Structure 1
Amino acid sequence: METKYPCLMLSVALLLLLFSCSCNTGASAETPCTCELRPGEGGVPQSSAFCQCPTISSLSSQDIPNYDNITTMVVSCQAVESPADLSLSDLSSIQSLSLYNCFYVVLNSTFRSLPSLRKLVLDGCDLDNDPCNYFWVRSDSFLGLPNLEELQLLAAADVPKLHGLPSLESLTLAYIYQGVLIKNYTLVIQYPNLLQFTLTGSVSETHKVDVLLLDMPLLERVNITYNPQSLNWIVLPENLFKHTPGLKELSLTHDSIRVLSQLVLHPATNLTKINLSNNNIRYVPPRFFDGQDKLVEVDLSDNQIWYIAYNTFSDLVAMEVLDLSNNVLTSLETVLKGLLNLRIIDMSKNSLGHLPADIFTDCTNLTELQLSKNNISSLDDTIFHPLTKLEGLYLNYNELQGISRQLFQNQTSLQVLQVGVNRLQAVDFAWFSHMSALNQLLLPINNIQTVSSWGVLKSSFRGNLQVDLVANNIHRLPYREIIQLASLGQSKPQLPQVLLNFNPYNCDCEVLPVNQVLSLPRATETFPDLVNISCWNPPELRNLQVSHLPPSSFKCFFKEQCPESCSCYSLGMKYTDDALQRIVNYGNNMSTIEEGTFQGLDSLEVLFLNNSGVKNVHSSSFSHLRHLKELHLQDNDLEHLSKETFKRVSRLQVLDIGRNPLKCNCDLLAFKEWAETNVQSVSFDFNVTCRNHGNKVFTSVAHVVKRELSCAPGNQYVYVIIALGIVVAMLLVVLLVYQYRGFLQVWLYMKCGWRFDPIDDGDDKTYDAFISYSSRDELVVIRELAPGLEERGFNLCLHYRDFPVGACIATTIIETVEASRRTIILLSQNFVDSEWCALEFKAAHRQVLEDRRNRIVVIVLDDLELQNVDKDLQFYLKTNTYLKWGDPWFWSKLCYALPRVGRGADKQSSDSEHIDMKDVTSQDSGIEMTEVYENKTVET
């Protein structure tokens, strides 16, 4: 056996041999093996045997029941040995053999008598992986196995160059002792027919791995995994698959790979699956997948990827599964463009905050989308519209504050929608009514307070729908909806299941006892956790189960005046039969009919409240009585009636308000007009009277006219009109101030010295301003701009005067910008055409970005076409204001934009506002000027 350490290996072999002899002495060869039959591959009964033996030499076909039909054997030994004369000739018909913890050394005679063997597994550990006795393999250990197709060597002490095995197609080498894998790297070269190669936890010399895979043109599957310490591939070798053109499946997981070579996959153009998960990859090169048009599955999960270029996946036209989960991605632009065959995308466990509205435009065949555990706070209403085949959408653990019907309007095939652990505040089941196949709507641990359209659950879904609203902020149990769903009986074979526990419920007089609901036919089927729901308020009922409380526990504070030192409660009318159609309540004493008094009596049709001392009626007292047809309020103490009180009672046919001390006012006449139009039977004869303020004589309401009460059209709205006028005027003032804010800021600065957006200019700057201009515009600077500013006290830096002779112009520009409080850009077509002027702007712009202060003042000298301007400058002009040469307020605006230099400068700025341009032009043909930059002269 070849080895780098012959003395060490010889010593180890002798020790193992001695230990083997001592073990054999104590082992009894007479002790038989115990075997049991198990279903074999494909579920064939009685075709597989599992045996536990003292040693491998004690194994005999006589111990195996039904041996003639056995094709698969698994043997676990209690002690290892290496008998020189061991032969497994009794097992000549076995096709698959797995031996655990049985050998010290595999001799060349051990398997010679197994010509039918197709699969052989040798593992130095027992089935529980404890203990492990590493075994030795000789180069001739597997001679005489012409039909062996699969060989697995696990926990071997070493693997030499192996001979024979002409039919070998699959080779697995796993957990070789201390990573000492291959002393002769021509191992795999001996098997040109190899289709699958697995290398797990066994690499010690990384630079030899590419040699290991040489000359295997038929190799289809490579699995090199769990080599984090020994392999430590910082960079994946570029020529790793140079001679494996037939490669179809590649798995390189848990290998500490950090950098992917851009060309490493280029020789393997037949790949269909690639798994690079659980590494330390931070960046995927744009050309990494070039030419991989057969690739179907890509797994890049559990890495440190923070950026993916837009064209990284552009060649993967056949890709169906993409896993980018558990990385550090913060944004994704158009990386999915053109991937028409994608079915599954997993982008969970990243740091995505915003997704472009068109990111899934081409993913029309997508069926599953994982976006859980990101930082997504909002989604564009159209982002999922192309995904008409989507079946599973997972948005758990994000920052979503709201969703809408428009967001899911095209998801008619959706089966699973999970939006748990977000910040949703409301949900409407109507948003999902078109999803007939939906079976999971999971919305737990949000901030949902309002749940609407419960009736959709009865009709829009096929059944088996689970709705999870656990641990939200729902304060009131939807008892009406609970009763409607739980009362369906057998008319609907499958009802939705709704979970409502762990919400802060208010247990007041509006709570119907849970016990009444639980007695309904299918209550527990529809609401399985209803019996466990607890109260949150009032405090004395906190954490008590509603089902265990008597009806008298559910109280509301009494809104009428309560005697001092007393606590008054109302039990309301919640326990009246919801199906009640007629209430006769005359002759009582109820001065006020509060809002919600008749809540829950939706079926009520006739209501008598006459002769009950009623003085006040809340505007919403009858709003819930949608089926009310008759209302009797005669013989009470009503002084005011408003049409708003009855407006929502759309089916009202009979209304009696006679013999009430009504007051004649415009509201009463408006009520009269409404009632005569909308109520079939209402009479304003002598029984319906009113009196004016201070007058004791009652007059029939039928005889009162508007002009007597000064109810001219629109009088009642005069205050509203005045208020609206004031609001409109204020808005106009605000808009005018905003529109002319620049002018107002300059005017206030010149008159009062006020600045509204001061910049911390600091005292460490040499110049107040550096003027950047084209040499062709130098006359404007020399004759007008520079003198005008220096007269006002500003310290300027100018090309022709202050740049040091012979110095590097690029360095000088950068240093000058940093040493100036402002940079004045004299923008003209000449400036745009100058490369040095562009450098000056970029230096100033960089300083703006570093300081996070706008220190650039742009003066536009002539008309420019923005499309010809540098992109950075173009963007700056679109997002910032600039000055125009020749503006009547030019000097005042310019002084406001520059740092303060004293009162004197401010006063001077108001002089000479108009600039005479007759003598100054952007080009003067009579003067030839030059720019000298870095020993280069450019005539301009």
Structure 2
Amino acid sequence: ISNLPSLKNLIIKDCFAELPKDLITECEALITLDLSQNRITGIPEGFFKDLKNLEHLDLSFNKISTLKSGVFSPVKKLKYLNLDRNHLEVLPEFLFAGLRKLTEVSINHNLLTTIDALAFQGATSLQTISLIGNRLTLKSKDQLDWDYMDMGMYSPFNTLSELKKLDLSHNNISKIFDDWRFVLVNLEILDLSWNRFEELYPNSCQFLSNKITVNLQHNDISSVNLYQPAAQSDTTAPVAEPNSSILLDNNPLNCDCRMYNLAMRLQGLKPTTTEPKFNVGNAQCKSPPHLQGDLFKNLSPYDLYCEEMTEEVRFNCTSVLIRPAYRDLYYDCDFAPPFFPNTEQYGVEQLSLKLQYPPNDLSNLTLSLLNLTNIGLQEIPFSPSESVKEIDLSKNNLTEIPIRFIESNTSLYLSSNPFDCSCFARDSVIALRGSSNIKDLDTVSCANGLSISELEISTLCHSNTLIIAEIGGIFLFLLILFTLAFIFSRQIVDHFGHRIFPCCFIDDPDNSPKEYDVFISYAHKDQKYVNKLLPKLENDFKLTVCVHYRDWEVGDFIPDQINRSVLNSRKTIILLSNSFLDSTFANLEFRTAHNLALKEGRERVILIILEDVSKHEKLSEELKYHMKMNTYLNWDDSRFDEKLRRRTIPQLYNKKKFVRPAILKPIFKQATENNLKKALDVHLNSAGQLVNLAQNKKDIENV
């Protein structure tokens, strides 16, 4: 083939294993040379000496194991080089020296373990390098002990400022090199998928290229550590959406507190520094166990916490949690520990303490929050202290308004306590209403259920004479009213009564206006059921639905979120499963809805059984009682949709309910005698059995 000065394109396939040295001598016009799919093991020295115009060279699918430095130096005009599917292990120094017009190199599926730091020296026009399916780590001998904090670690591509695409997928790379971030400013695609990355750090996620896509899919990344996002009120935070992105799909994420900053990025909070947009796709949590299999993009930042397991820190407490969403170290204990660690070493600012038994003294505690909710407190055994900023006393049995704490400017939560609002407590009620430190004042109520914030102070202290006169007048009025009700049919009273005597009829609570029709309470592992249930309720039934991951406010106290969600919804749907019983917050949502239903005397809870939970050790007595005394739905019921519709959609035709005062029961004794004989006074004894106490009562009228 030699001595063909006009030959421009040459293709030789499946011909020889060893190249003759003079195969293409004096072929100066040759532009394209394709020697792929042969059995070539090496390139003879000086083989390309006459190919001064060669632009396209294909040596793929051969058995080349070594290349000498400068072997391609004569082909100064070379633009494309393909060495795919060979046996190369090393790219020596100055391999591409002098190839200033070379724009694309492909060395896929070889045995490469090493690329000399000077291998690409001189190939300054390279735009695309593909090294897929090799064994590269890109670490030189002096970089084998490289730590992620080490600066100035450069790859062999650090001189290629025009590089736009670098494909290193299916290798053994575990670090992002500094030149990729700071030198290759024109880089648009950096494919690092199917490598050995285990963790990302803040510095490794910052690139000067403003249009780069970094593909880190299919690695072993368990944690993504990022800088704190900017506060929402921080006007210095960048506004424009980044054009670059980092792809993280198909990585075994450990969804704990270290992933909090990434979760906040997905919530829309901007970083304080320039960084690409993170795309987690359908990446799932591999751990912790209670989040295993959940999609990370569906998690709330409040779901992400780390549990401190060190015994000298736990002090036999139930749990010690690092909660970045609350910026606190949260202790859940029976009694207060003897001392606490420095919160700064955990990256949080505050210390919170949940106790089952109240302390007698607060002077030795320095807390942002003391949580004493739902422990049956009837009185407060300690005095206020400046070292405790906030105390949650909600859901207890306090009757006396804690005036000492109100006067001390301690922030308080006081909802769901039966406070005394009589004339004797008038000054305390006024002080409570005037305090700016009651965080849940709108939901604080008297023992009679009246909201303290809406209470008319002037009505607290009527004279005894006026009270007696009012009671007598009301009694006489009700006597006349229900005498008429006895004479005439109940249907006539129901139909006309609310127009003639509106004070004796109340709005049916099922039809009273609420912010939501339904609040769905469930465990995170049952998200798939919510995904099926939510469209049915919102699209088919036309209901407004509250779900925590969408409708709760970020940064608010979870028990308050639960309380508001239940209060502001007509119904609460409980998706009961073994995962539900394992969830502390899910059980709290049930108790909140159940207690409110008992308090209002109406159905608020719709129980949907997802699986058999009868043998679960955490099945509470409240749930057992509720399941025995109320009907519930089974998820796999063939008439599930029909039954759910009847339970959730308000019955607009029954907007008024007739209220018959207990004081006039004797009037209706004869008409209801048969029903009274069948009355039940059912209680749940200590053995978990239902007992009808009405059978042991002497006076059936008191049932």
TM-score (norm 2): 0.38
Quick check: which one's helix share is greater? 2
With a CA cutoff of 8 Å and minimum separation of 6, indicate the structure with the bigger relative contact order: 2
